Amino acid sequence: MTQEPHQHHTEPHAPLTTASAAVDGGDTGLSKKGLSAGSVGLIGAIVIGISCVAPAYTLTGALGPTVAEVGTQLPAIFLLGFIPMLLVALGYRELNNAMPDSGTSFTWATRAFGPWVGWMGGWGLIAATVVVLSNLAGIAVEFFYLALAQAFNNPEIAELVGNPLVNVATCLVFIVGATLISYRDMQTTQKVQYWLVGFQLLVMIGFGVAAFWHVANGTAFDPTQVELSWFNPFEVGSFSAVVAGLSVSLFVFWGWDVTLTMNEETKGSRTTPGRAATLTVTIVVAIYLFVAMGSLAFAGTGTEGFGLGNPDIQENAFFYLAGPILGPLAILMSIAVLSSSAASLQSTFVSPARTLLAMGHYGALPKKFATVSPRFFTPGYATIVSAIVAGGFYTVMRFISDEVLWDTIATLGLMICFYYGITAFACVWYFRKLWFKSGRNVFFMLVAPFVGGVILTVLFFTTLIDSMDPAFGSGSEIGGVGLVFVLSVVILLTGVVIMFWQRWKRPAFFRGETLSRAVAED
């Protein structure tokens, strides 16, 4: 943490000098490993980056909803969606270097704009991750039963997914499993994770190749000619459609920023994080474009059968396309998506838990949230609370929406716009005295985060207004208002209510006594 508010540690009886000297002596001898965060190499950083982005999982969730908005201009929207994410991530890196803190957006926004905005920034981050946790677990459930159906050659098993009770029960089991793993901090060893990521990429490439092979052989469902216009966002026709597509596509790059901020002391040299981030995003974008084009060429955007325009298959594209494209090897896709979801579930669990921990630590939430498990060194209480909320959210959603996965992704897009936007402006404002110290600062502390923040703000409000239309996205609605709008507003207003409640219970934070406003100076 950047600040240590009111920590009353009992003074040790033991020779305090020796004691604290020894504690501080962590940088000598054996504990060269003390600089542990730095020991990630280039490949390690790329593997972590790809695990966090989880391309197999994000694509299966995002392909359909994006095609529903922008049709064949899918590749263009994926490319365009990267721009705001990159711009904000650059600002994110500046903040992370200046104030490394487990509270990230919450802490930074509080420092820049004070407790109220900071609190809502933290809330946005927590909401986004809780929403995505439920989506991840939901996708994992579908592929779990699909894999079983494929393994036993019994398509009836895959139909269990449609049974809400079975579906919710399985999903809760997955969430409990992921919580245990996170709570105990059981990490896959690097070697295993290298293989899993490699496998995931290979299956995606194989999927794309097989799709084009079907097109060439005339066995594709709806062979569609690849055109340059796929890369032209102006061909979409409507601004609203582009915006809606973008706010979904933000999600496919979400998590990539960790490679940028992983650490300044990454093993080797100072350039490693930059190279890791560049390589990660190159790999991910190449895979996205290739698979997106393969899927479009194979299935077209028709509204029947396997057409990507068919609402019945849109919320989980690979679930339906893997069979016709990969034939007997379709089970590999199920395994790839499952392993990708599992890794993502684990890395995603960490962020709400750490933000809740920071909020507890600075007194923006009850102190309990700041509890660290003495045995596993994880934010235990916060992890469990996140899991309960994610499980509850999924259960409620499963019963009020027919298109849970789609609606959660659309809601997620809005939440990302919200808290990334706040973070971007926090960067601009926090560094306001340093803007013109160098040309580098002009770009990284002012232009990039400001433009990124403005784009996200426009996306946020346009999507929010459009989503009031009951026909928006999946077409789920409550009382004639689009479900995504209702969800987003309920989530944000809940945040406001809890914030006022905390203001009443814990005024110190809101008076700026635990985490004060500040501005970066030389």
Partner 1 sequence: MVTRIVVGYTANESGADALALGGRLAAASEALLEVVMVLPIEARGAVVPPDTGYERHLKERSRGWLAEASARLGDGVEQSLHIRYAESFAEGLVAAAHEFDASLIVVGAARGGLLGRSRIGSVANDLLHSSDVPVALAPAGSRETPVSLGVTRITGAVGTRSGAGSVLDISVRLARLTHAPLRLVSLVSIDLPAGMDEELASLASTAHADDVLTEARRALPAGTTATSVVASGDTIEQAVAALEWHAGEVVLVGSSRLATPSRLFLGSTASKMLRELPVPMIVVPRATS
CB of residue 196 to partner 1, shortest distance in Å:
9
User: Phi/psi at 482 (nearest 5 deg)?
Assistant: -55, 140
Q: Which residue from 375, 467, 382, 372 is spatially nearest to 417, judged by alpha carbons?
A: 467
Binder among 180, 202, 216, 490 for partner 1 (CB under 8 A) = 180
CB of residue 382 to partner 1, shortest distance in Å:
11
Give the count of alpha carbons within 13 A of 6, CB side only: 10
Pair of tokens at residue 431: 């560094």
Residue 105 interacts with partner 1 (CB under 8 A): yes or no: no
Q: What element of type H or E holds 478?
A: strand 477-478
Which window, 59-67, 319-327, 353-361, 431-439, contacts partner 1 (CB under 8 A)?
Answer: 353-361
Residue 47 interacts with partner 1 (CB under 8 A): yes or no: yes
Rg over CA atoms, the chain: 23
Residue 22 interacts with partner 1 (CB under 8 A): yes or no: yes
Binder among 6, 7, 153, 234 for partner 1 (CB under 8 A) = 7
Residue 4 interacts with partner 1 (CB under 8 A): yes or no: yes
Contact indicator for 377, 185 with CB cutoff of 8 Å: yes
| Residue/partner pairs of 211-219 with CB below 8 Å, 24 or more apart | 211/294, 211/295, 211/297, 211/298, 211/325, 212/294, 212/297, 212/298, 214/298, 214/324, 214/325, 215/297, 215/298
Residue 376 interacts with partner 1 (CB under 8 A): yes or no: yes
CA 315 – CA 328 distance, rounded (Å): 23
Nearer to partner 1, 368 or 375 (CB): 375
CB of residue 151 to partner 1, shortest distance in Å:
25
Residue 462 interacts with partner 1 (CB under 8 A): yes or no: no
**In whole angstroms, what separates CA 24 from the centre of its chain?**
36
Binder among 42, 79, 83, 100 for partner 1 (CB under 8 A) = 100
CB of residue 92 to partner 1, shortest distance in Å:
13
Residue 372 interacts with partner 1 (CB under 8 A): yes or no: yes
Q: Which residue from 146, 143, 134, 145 is spatially nearest to 171, judged by alpha carbons?
A: 134
Binder among 151, 152, 163, 187 for partner 1 (CB under 8 A) = 187
Binder among 53, 126, 133, 262 for partner 1 (CB under 8 A) = 262
Residue 13 interacts with partner 1 (CB under 8 A): yes or no: yes
Binder among 112, 136, 343, 492 for partner 1 (CB under 8 A) = 343
CB of residue 183 to partner 1, shortest distance in Å:
8
Q: Which residue from 141, 50, 24 is spatially nearest to 347, judged by alpha carbons?
A: 50
Binder among 6, 218, 328, 377 for partner 1 (CB under 8 A) = 377
